[in-house]
C-alpha cells in the first residue's frame, strides 16, 4: 500500500508525546513490511522540510495549526498517489474526507472536550468544544481506529463507521526497581488538563498520615502553569515536599521513575496514559482518576488503583492505601509489569495494517 499519515506533530517535534511515539511505531512498522509510507506534519524551527526516517518519509510544512491547510493543498496535488490516508486527530482534524473520500481512516486517541476549556483561552475553548462534534461529523461512516475501549465508548452517537480498537504497543518489562519509600511521582506535560494541582492537594492530605511523603513532578510545559502549581504547593504548606524536575533526558526520567513508590495521574482524560505503562516496566503501580483512557491502562485492584471520583481526597485515599501496604504495593507493581506482555509492536502493526488493507481494498473497488 501507499499510505500517508496526517498528524499535527512529527516524530522529532519538541512537544511530541505518546501519540507521536506510537505513530512512529506504525509508520516504521508498515515500512518494514514493504508499504510506502509518508508522515505529513508541521515544521518546527530547524527541522527539515523532508527527510527519511526508519524507512518512511517525513514531510513538514506550516505550524501546528496551519499544517492542516498545507496538508489539504498537498493532498489535492497528490490525491491519486496514495491508497489510504490516516487522519490522526489531536484536538483539530485534518478534514481529509472532503478531498480523499473513502480512502480515509480516522485515528483518534481521545476527544478533546473538557481539554478545550482547560487549556485554551475562554472564548477559544468555548468555540472549540462547541465545534468538536460538527467537525467530526465530517467523518460520518468513516472507519475509526482508537486505542482503548473507554475512548471508543466516548464517541457516543458520532455516527462513525466501524470503530476498531487497536491497542497501543506498550513498553517491555525491565527489572523491578527498589523504590524510595513514600515517593509519589507525576511524569508528563505541565498543563492544566493534567490537574497536577489535584495531585499536590492530595499530597497535603497524604502527609497528614505519612509525614515524609514526597512528590516529584517530572516534565516541562506551560511556565505560567508551573508558577501556579508552585503557588498551590506553597499555599498548602507542602512546597518543601514537591520537587519540580522540569524537562529531563530519557535516562534521567527512567531513573526517577524507578525511584517512585507509586505514580499518580489526575488528567481530565487520556487516550491511554502511556506513562502508566512506562512506570509499570519497573513494577511501579499507579493511582489514577476514573477517566477515559486511564480506566483501561490501569486495572483497578490488579495493576493499580482507579479511585472512586475525581477529587483530591479520593486520590489521597488511594495513594495512602498503596504506599502504606508494602505487600499490596509490590503485588500491584508485579501485576502491572505482567500486564504489559501481550501489547507488542508486532501485534499493534498487524491489527492496524489489517484495517488499512480493508479500507484500501474497499476504496479501490468503489472507484
Residue 174 lies in a domain: no
Residue 175 lies in a domain: no
Q: How many CA atoms lie within 13 A of 260 on its CB side?
A: 33
Given a cut of 60, is residue 67 above it in pLDDT?
yes
Phi, psi of 106 (to 5 degrees): -90, 125
Same domain for 205 and 329:
yes
Range scoring the smallest mean pLDDT among 122-126, 178-182, 282-286, 344-348: 122-126
Residue 311 lies in a domain: yes
Q: How confident is the model at residue 84 (pLDDT cuts 50, 70, 90)?
A: very high
Question: Mean pLDDT over all residues of the chain?
Answer: 92
Q: Which residue has the higher pLDDT, 28 or 159?
A: 28
Give the residue among 25, 5, 7 at the shortest CA–CA distance from 16. 7
Same domain for 148 and 11:
yes
**Average pLDDT estimate for 88-114:** 86
Same domain for 245 and 348:
no
Range scoring the smallest mean pLDDT among 48-52, 86-90, 193-197: 86-90
Tally of domains within the chain: 2
Residue 103 lies in a domain: yes
246 strand-pairing partners: 218
Q: pLDDT tens, 152-210?
A: 888 877 888 899 999 999 999 998 889 999 999 999 989 999 999 999 999 999 999 99
pLDDT at position 366, please?
58
pLDDT at position 112, please?
64
Same domain for 196 and 82:
no
Q: Which residue has the higher pLDDT, 232 or 220?
A: 232
Same domain for 226 and 312:
yes
What range defines the domain where residue 153 resides? 2-169+344-366
Same domain for 273 and 130:
no
Same domain for 158 and 104:
yes
Residue 177 lies in a domain: no
Same domain for 265 and 196:
yes
Residue 73 lies in a domain: yes
**Average pLDDT estimate for 290-294:** 94
Residue 224 lies in a domain: yes
Please state, in angstroms and rounded to a whole number, the distance separating the CA atoms of residues 39 and 45.
Answer: 18
pLDDT at position 124, please?
56
Q: pTM here?
A: 0.84
Q: How many CA atoms lie within 13 A of 281 on its CB side?
A: 17
Q: How confident is the model at residue 221 (pLDDT cuts 50, 70, 90)?
A: confident
pLDDT at position 88, please?
95
**Average pLDDT estimate for 69-82:** 93
3-state secondary structure the chain: CEEEEECCCCCCCCCCCHHHHHHHHHHHHHHHCCCEEEEEECCCCCCCCEEEECCEEEEECCCCCCHHHHHHHHHHHCCCCCCEEEEEEECECCCCHHHHHHHEEEEECCCCCHHHHHHCCHHHHHHHHHHHHHHHHHHCCCCEEECCHHHHHHCCCCCCCCEEECCCCCCCCCCCCCCCCCEEEEECCECHHHCHHHHHHHHHHHHHHCCCCEEEEECCECHHHHHHHHHHHHHCCCHHHEEEEECCCHHHHHHHHHHCCEEEECCCCCCCCHHHHHHHCCCCCEEECCCCCHHHHCCECCCEEECCCCCHHHHHHHHHHHHCCHHHHHHHHHHHHHHCCCCCHHHHHHHHHHHHHHHHHHHHHHC
Please state, in angstroms and rounded to a whole number, the distance separating the CA atoms of residues 167 and 140.
Answer: 23
pLDDT at position 131, please?
66
Q: How confident is the model at residue 16 (pLDDT cuts 50, 70, 90)?
A: confident
Residue 178 lies in a domain: no
Q: pLDDT tens, 229-288?
A: 999 999 999 999 999 999 999 999 999 999 999 999 999 988 889 999 999 999 999 999
> 286 exposed, middle or buried (CB, 10 Å; 0-12, 13-18, 19+)?
buried
Same domain for 272 and 220:
yes
**Average pLDDT estimate for 115-136:** 64
pLDDT at position 35, please?
98
Given a cut of 80, is residue 109 above it in pLDDT?
yes
The CATH number of whichever domain residue 114 belongs to comes to 3.40.50.2000
Give the residue among 108, 104, 207, 96 at the shortest CA–CA distance from 148. 108
Same domain for 277 and 352:
no
Same domain for 320 and 209:
yes
3-state secondary structure 32-92: HCCCEEEEEECCCCCCCCEEEECCEEEEECCCCCCHHHHHHHHHHHCCCCCCEEEEEEECE
Same domain for 113 and 12:
yes
Q: Which residue has the higher pLDDT, 114 or 226?
A: 226
Q: How confident is the model at residue 91 (pLDDT cuts 50, 70, 90)?
A: confident
pLDDT at position 5, please?
98
Q: How confident is the model at residue 89 (pLDDT cuts 50, 70, 90)?
A: confident
**Average pLDDT estimate for 89-97:** 86
Amino acid at each position: 500500500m501507499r499510505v500517508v499519515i496526517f498528524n499535527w506533530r512529527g516524530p522529532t517535534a519538541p512537544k511530541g508525546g505518546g501519540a507521536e511515539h506510537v505513530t512512529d511505531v506504525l509508520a516504521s512498522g508498515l515500512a518494514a513490511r514493504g508499504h510506502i509510507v509518508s508522515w505529513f506534519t508541521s515544521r518546527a524551527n530547524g527541522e527539515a522540510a523532508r527527510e527519511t526516517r526508519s524507512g518512511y518519509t517525513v514531510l513538514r510544512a506550516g505550524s501546528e495549526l496551519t499544517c492542516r491547510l498545507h496538508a489539504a493543498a498537498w493532498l489535492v496535488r497528490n490525491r491519486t498517489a496514495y491508497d489510504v490516508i490516516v487522519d490522526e486527530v489531536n484536538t483539530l482534524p485534518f478534514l481529509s474526507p472532503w478531498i480523499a473520500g473513502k480512502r480515509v481512516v480516522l485515528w483518534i486517541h481521545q476527544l478533546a472536550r473538557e481539554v478545550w476549556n482547560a487549556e485554551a483561552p475562554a472564548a477559544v475553548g468555548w468555540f472549540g468544544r462547541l465545534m468538536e462534534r460538527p467537525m467530526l461529523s465530517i467523518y460520518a461512516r468513516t472507519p475509526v481506529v482508537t486505542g482503548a475501549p473507554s475512548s471508543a465508548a466516548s464517541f457516543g452517537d458520532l455516527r462513525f463507521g466501524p470503530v476498531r480498537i487497536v491497542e497501543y504497543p506498550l513498553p517491555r518489562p525491565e527489572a523491578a526497581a527498589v523504590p524510595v519509600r513514600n515517593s509519589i511521582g507525576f511524569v508528563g506535560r505541565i498543563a492544566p488538563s493534567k490537574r497536577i494541582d489535584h495531585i499536590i492537594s492530595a499530597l497535603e492530605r497524604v502527609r497528614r498520615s505519612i509525614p515524609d511523603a514526597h512528590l516529584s513532578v517530572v516534565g516541562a510545559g506551560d511556565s505560567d502553569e508551573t508558577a501556579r502549581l508552585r503557588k498551590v504547593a506553597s499555599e498548602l504548606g507542602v512546597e518543601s515536599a514537591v520537587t519540580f524536575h522540569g524537562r529531563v533526558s530519557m535516562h534521567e526520567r527512567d531513573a526517577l521513575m524507578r525511584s517512585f513508590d507509586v505514580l499518580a495521574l489526575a488528567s481530565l482524560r487520556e487516550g491511554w496514559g502511556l506513562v502508566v505503562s512506562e512506570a509499570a516496566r519497573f513494577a511501579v503501580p499507579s493511582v489514577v482518576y476514573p477517566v477515559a483512557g486511564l480506566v483501561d491502562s490501569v486495572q483497578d485492584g490488579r495493576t493499580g488503583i482507579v479511585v472512586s471520583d475525581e477529587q483530591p481526597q479520593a486520590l489521597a485515599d488511594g495513594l495512602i492505601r498503596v504506599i502504606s501496604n508494602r505487600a499490596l504495593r509490590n503485588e500491584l507493581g508485579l501485576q502491572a509489569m505482567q500486564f504489559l506482555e501481550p501489547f507488542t509492536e508486532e501485534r499493534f502493526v498487524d491489527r492496524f495494517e489489517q484495517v488499512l488493507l480493508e479500507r484500501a481494498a474497499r476504496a479501490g473497488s468503489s472507484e
